[in-house]
A and B are shown apart, each in its own frame.
Chain A
């Protein structure tokens, strides 16, 4: 693989002839050709269309992005490229041609040959795609079986592949089991497996959605490099317009199964034609916005002014040197923060940085090992105790909202019941009163009252998230801890939920601890930002100051990893193209180092960073206005 396979060498003798038969008008063979494809499944005696007359082509060496919100049918279309349909679905019209062959006319044997040789897929969750009981090297060799018969060669080839996807020490990695690798490493192995057969078509279904921004940037760089080098026709399915801007040559925007706009990626981002595309693009939060963006029906974008938190706003929560431990490792390592009424404090960081642990600690789900945590207000309260040891009044005043809309509500209870429970539990409403109050709260989060009788399964993700917020509000809290509550939502839904939070903040004088790894979202919603790394705060300050810099190197790395949907290809914070090529090369090296560091588990990472900071422990550079940066590099 390292030699790089020459394109169009015709590995398979009959692909060329088929292409000629299929459409003689093409001088060059087009590896992917989807024509008028419609897919439907039957439910309750009716046909439900999932994909409706979808057509596109991808040439070798090009990347086509299929963009859309959840339920737009984009993954269904991606599956058809491998001849896969979900159970019960069928093709109602059109054809899918991959490498010159009509995929759905192929029998079992030919289809397997196609999947083994011509087309490969990388799914969203690589951890699930790898067999847990098999070493990754062995799995990779298995994928090579069809092409490389000799065992020794296969082994060498597997090693080369692991090297190619930028994994350090391929021999050691090959001997590992999937669970011994980090998410980013697993994704790399999955990509190596996809490339093992030297496919001509690579299908990527949300390849980086499950990863944090920094890892995402590395994986995307890797994929871009590989598909250029191997001259692959790549189909990228994503809901993330930033990723699309970074990767795609052409883009197809899907909505409710139909293509609403197809254009070269650069045109799509500079001059979107369809109103839906315009709305979609406008809904994406940008790091350059100084507040929440509001999007009109026609896709016009206005940035809402942020009402500054008044100087004299009373303090709501204060943390002093808080340490939270899991066994011997410190998930939160000496954090001091303050939060005022009416203020949104964003906690930012990669996965494993301790931000969620800190949130759980605030909510009383994990008692801190040391440090002071106090809730202020008419009644002072000590938050160092777990939820059950806190007096009810204190528990009531700090509430939690969750990331995952699927599991945050009890599937057997209707929405109103979920909101009613805190009202009754904290004695805020009488039995007769509670139902009316719950209905009112559901209206307060901008849901139709009729929805209050629905079970969670009968609500959409955004609606469920609103019910979760209503449940948190029901207790009448001073502080709401919102843990990645918009992460799993589509951009347009995300925008409306963020607007709701902002309204609630001003209406009810609420303080929010807003946890997110998405810096653009944070820019819009937060008043202050605290960047966390390995359980420590490395930078803290007003949102404007932090985003204009100067910054801690880690904060800068996070910001550079942000992908924005613009014609420049999504370089964060207006970095130029030259800067980006630079980054691509550097990223591979930084990546290897970071992955290697990540191998030892959380404990050693924390101690490692402590050592790196050396004597500068606890020292801050104060930039004024509450903006401070921890001394010492990464």
Chain B
């Protein structure tokens, strides 16, 4: 994947219609993009995710209100020209809190997903490459971890260690890595017996080197799709934690927390809980659509890989 490869673009034009997915790396990015943009749902998904990221980054420019500024005199207002989505029980602008609210969710989710997928990929590849007792041991331990419901495991960890972002990232990594391991291991098992990996083994390359040079570039598609998939689950999980009061601490603007805070005033100021719900739903939807689009563009069969 890291091979800069500018000179050979037209080389396979003469050759018979090579499948798009196996074209040159530079060409692969282009064909992937083209395939994604051609599919309506995938484009919508990418746009949704991009808009969420942009809003999170540009939040201070989009609203004049501070998300944590209390204003007791203007509490529980409906939508108006001054407050587009109204205010909550403490008089904070709902729109401002929604715009800022993506920051925590996106940052923690991204960090947690990245860690889970990275750890899962390394362990999955190692299990597939080494095989034998290591593979058996890893898989049995993972089966045990998988048997524990994620939210329960998270609640235990957070109760014991406190609810800082670092703890949540760590906990999500531990909870989700096993599922990533299973998928990546299945993909790597397909690559491990191929002759170029055998050649590297015969050369006496170290496992890490074989993994990085020979195996990873060939399962990068699976890993990317896995990342997009897991991200949407992790966003939901982290928001659930906040909703239950174990994630973000008040007065941090966070969607899960907002829904929890405002659900008692649902009949008075419905937008105070509806707005974060819409934000959360669109982000998860966007991530799911992107994952599906990527999977299609690269021909990754998620059902098969997760076997």
Listed in ascending order, the chain A residues whose CB lies under 8 Å from chain B are 41, 43-44, 48, 71, 363-365, 387-388, 390, 392, 395, 399-400, 402-404, 407-414, 417-418, 421-422, 425-426, 453-455, 457-458, 471, 475
Question: In the complex the two chains form, what is the Cα distance from A13 to B203 in whole Å?
Answer: 67
Specify which of B5, B13, B202, B218 is in contact with A365 (CB 8 Å cutoff).
Answer: B202
Question: In the complex the two chains form, what is the Cα distance from A517 to B204 in whole Å?
Answer: 29
Specify which of B7, B17, B23, B214 is in contact with A410 (CB 8 Å cutoff).
Answer: B214
Cβ-defined contact, B205 with A412, below 8 A: no
Q: How far is the CB of A303 from chain B (nearest CB, A)?
A: 32
Known: A365-B201, A365-B202, A410-B218. A402 touches B195 (CB 8 A): yes
Question: In the complex the two chains form, what is the Cα distance from A321 to B200 in whole Å?
Answer: 28
Known: A411-B218, A412-B217. A457 touches B202 (CB 8 A): no
Specify which of B3, B199, B202 is in contact with A412 (CB 8 Å cutoff).
Answer: B3
Cβ-defined contact, B204 with A390, below 8 A: yes
Q: How far is the CB of B32 from chain A (nearest CB, A)?
A: 14
Residues from chain A with a CB closer than 8 A to the CB of B8 are 414, 453-455, 458
Cβ-defined contact, A400 with B202, below 8 A: yes
Instruction: Select from chain B the residue with minimum beta-carbon distance to A365.
Output: B202
Cβ-defined contact, B203 with A387, below 8 A: yes
Instruction: Select from chain B the residue with minimum beta-carbon distance to A395.
Output: B204
Cβ-defined contact, A453 with B5, below 8 A: yes
Residues from chain A with a CB closer than 8 A to the CB of B22 are 411, 457
Question: In the complex the two chains form, what is the Cα distance from A409 to B196 in whole Å?
Answer: 5
Question: In the complex the two chains form, what is the Cα distance from A414 to B5 in whole Å?
Answer: 8
Cβ-defined contact, B24 with A455, below 8 A: yes
Q: How far is the CB of B201 from chain A (nearest CB, A)?
A: 6
**Chain A CB within 8 A of B16 CB:** yes
**Chain A CB within 8 A of B151 CB:** no
Question: In the complex the two chains form, what is the Cα distance from A448 to B199 in whole Å?
Answer: 24
| Contact-residue size bin, chain B (C-beta under 8 Å from the other chain) | 20 to 34
Specify which of A44, A409, A413 is in contact with B17 (CB 8 Å cutoff).
Answer: A44
Cβ-defined contact, B1 with A425, below 8 A: no
Among B11, B16, B23, find the residue whose CB has the most chain A CB atoms closer than 10 A. Answer: B11
Instruction: Select from chain B the residue with minimum beta-carbon distance to A362.
Output: B202
10 contacts between A and B (CB under 8 A): A364-B202, A388-B204, A395-B202, A399-B202, A402-B195, A408-B195, A408-B199, A454-B11, A458-B11, A475-B203
Residues from chain A with a CB closer than 8 A to the CB of B5 are 414, 453, 455
Specify which of A390, A410, A453, A457 is in contact with B196 (CB 8 Å cutoff).
Answer: A410
Interface residues of B in 200-226 (CB under 8 A from A): 200-205, 213-214, 217-218
Q: Give 15 new A-B contacts, CB below 8 A, not counting A395-B202, A402-B198.
A: A43-B17, A365-B198, A387-B201, A387-B203, A387-B204, A390-B204, A395-B203, A402-B199, A408-B195, A412-B217, A414-B3, A457-B18, A457-B23, A458-B15, A471-B199
**Chain A CB within 8 A of B264 CB:** no
Residues from chain B with a CB closer than 8 A to the CB of A411 are 22, 218
Question: In the complex the two chains form, what is the Cα distance from A177 to B201 in whole Å?
Answer: 35
Q: How far is the CB of A395 from chain B (nearest CB, A)?
A: 5
- Give the 3 A-B CB pairs with smallest separation, nearest first: A412-B217, A43-B17, A408-B195
Question: In the complex the two chains form, what is the Cα distance from A404 to B199 in whole Å?
Answer: 12
Q: How far is the CB of B5 from chain A (nearest CB, A)?
A: 6
**Chain A CB within 8 A of B194 CB:** yes
Residues from chain A with a CB closer than 8 A to the CB of B204 are 364, 387-388, 390, 392, 395
**Chain A CB within 8 A of B25 CB:** yes
Cβ-defined contact, A410 with B217, below 8 A: yes
Instruction: Select from chain A the residue with minimum beta-carbon distance to B215.
Output: A410
Cβ-defined contact, B218 with A400, below 8 A: no
Among B5, B16, B195, find the residue whose CB has the most chain A CB atoms closer than 10 A. Answer: B195
Instruction: Select from chain A the residue with minimum beta-carbon distance to B220.
Output: A412
Residues from chain A with a CB closer than 8 A to the CB of B23 are 457
Interface residues of B in 1-59 (CB under 8 A from A): 1, 3, 5, 7-8, 11-13, 15-18, 22-25
Cβ-defined contact, B217 with A413, below 8 A: yes
Question: In the complex the two chains form, what is the Cα distance from A443 to B203 in whole Å?
Answer: 22
Residues from chain A with a CB closer than 8 A to the CB of B199 are 400, 402, 408, 471
Cβ-defined contact, A425 with B17, below 8 A: no
Residues from chain B with a CB closer than 8 A to the CB of A458 are 8, 11-12, 15, 18, 24
Question: In the complex the two chains form, what is the Cα distance from A403 to B194 in whole Å?
Answer: 11
Cβ-defined contact, A412 with B17, below 8 A: no
Question: In the complex the two chains form, what is the Cα distance from A12 to B1 in whole Å?
Answer: 59
Instruction: Select from chain B the residue with minimum beta-carbon distance to A43.
Output: B17
Cβ-defined contact, B7 with A453, below 8 A: yes
Question: In the complex the two chains form, what is the Cα distance from A190 to B204 in whole Å?
Answer: 43
Question: In the complex the two chains form, what is the Cα distance from A388 to B210 in whole Å?
Answer: 13
Q: How far is the CB of A361 from chain B (nearest CB, A)?
A: 11
Residues from chain A with a CB closer than 8 A to the CB of B11 are 453-454, 458
Residues from chain B with a CB closer than 8 A to the CB of A48 are 16-17
Question: In the complex the two chains form, what is the Cα distance from A44 to B10 in whole Å?
Answer: 12
Known: A412-B217, A414-B3. A422 touches B203 (CB 8 A): yes
Instruction: Select from chain A the residue with minimum beta-carbon distance to B2.
Output: A412
Question: In the complex the two chains form, what is the Cα distance from A44 to B14 in whole Å?
Answer: 10
Question: In the complex the two chains form, what is the Cα distance from A403 to B199 in whole Å?
Answer: 12
Instruction: Select from chain B the residue with minimum beta-carbon distance to A408.
Output: B195
Residues from chain B with a CB closer than 8 A to the CB of A471 are 199
